[in-house]
Structure 1
């Protein structure tokens, strides 16, 4: 839920700033910026607070390599954030395909994969350093994963499909 607040505020700020510089973002663009900035923040946080915040969240079956998993997911979040925030015009100038779509899809996949860590925290009755909420928060967190997955897919135009997209 704190991530939802983070990406919603970032999206609103991106939308407002785009209006000020007279290059207005549509809803998908603002949401893409919100998610990209959110993942840049949380990806960086994986490296800054790996041992204290993220390693304890890893399920016991993956605990032998917990720090590696934390760094891998942090790197994936940073790469996804960069992919979302890189303008399509830059991709074109470099002769690359627009990677925004792939970034959104792979972030959605990662969000599905890390729900195990959120469930693990709730089942163990743990708390997470820096997220000083009651136990209820950790039980609600996994329920928000579908919202984040939908946000990622919507922001890059994967879901829902626009009318006529199937014909193309």
Structure 2
């Protein structure tokens, strides 16, 4: 896959915003929101909730830094981030189904349900801002 897809200034700005968001989220997993993120780990995951939160935080920080600095692999990082968002979605669903509050704003079934609809937006954001969609379409021509 071509990792040298040209992206627009708008895509670059949104990629940087997403990268900063990912770095911040990863840092918060490891520090001040660690307990809150544990509420998103489904009970069926065969690892300690704390370990899952720590590992996902580290992964988020690595992906965020990669979005900023690993230009040659930008398209692959976009696909990786989209996959990450897909993989964590069951945790968001479990949080909704089990009615677990978090972050002071996910304190109702309605808020948790609305949040589920943002996951596809994040996936699209990752693929669009990195040029991954364009690269995929180019390979289909």
Normalised by the length of structure 2, the TM-score is 0.83
Partner residue in 1 for 2:28: 45
* Aligned residues of 1:40 and 1:81 also touching (Cα < 8 A): yes
Structure possessing the higher relative contact order (Cα contacts under 8 Å, 6 or more residues apart): 2
What is the DSSP-based 3-state SS (H/G/I as helix, E as strand, rest coil) of the residue aligned with 1:58? coil
Report SS of the residue matched to 2:132. coil
Q: Which residue of 2 aligns with 1:119?
A: 93
Aligned structure 1 segments of 4 or more residues deviating by more than 6 angstroms? none
Q: Which residue of 2 aligns with 1:105?
A: 79
2:40 aligned residue (24, 46, 57): 57
* Deviation by residue 1:84-112 (Cα, 9 ceiling, x = unmatched): 11163xxxxxxxxx122222211110100
- 8 Å Cα contact 1:81-1:103 kept in structure 2: no
Give the equivalent residue in structure 2 for 1:86. Answer: 69
Alpha-carbon distance in 2 for matches of 1:32, 1:137: 26
1:140 Cα deviation (Å)? Answer: 1.3
Larger Rg: 1
- Cα RMSD for the two superposed structures: 2.2
Q: Deviations for 1:59-85, whole angstroms, at most 9, x for unmatched residues?
A: 111164211111111111101100011
Using the alignment, how far apart are the partners of 1:85 and 1:160 within structure 2?
19
> Contact conserved, 2:100 with 2:107, CA < 8 A, in 1?
no
Aligned ranges for residues 108-147 of structure 1 at < 5 Å? 108-131=82-105, 133-147=107-121
Count matched residues: 134
Alignment equivalent of 1:155, drawn from 126, 129, 132: 129
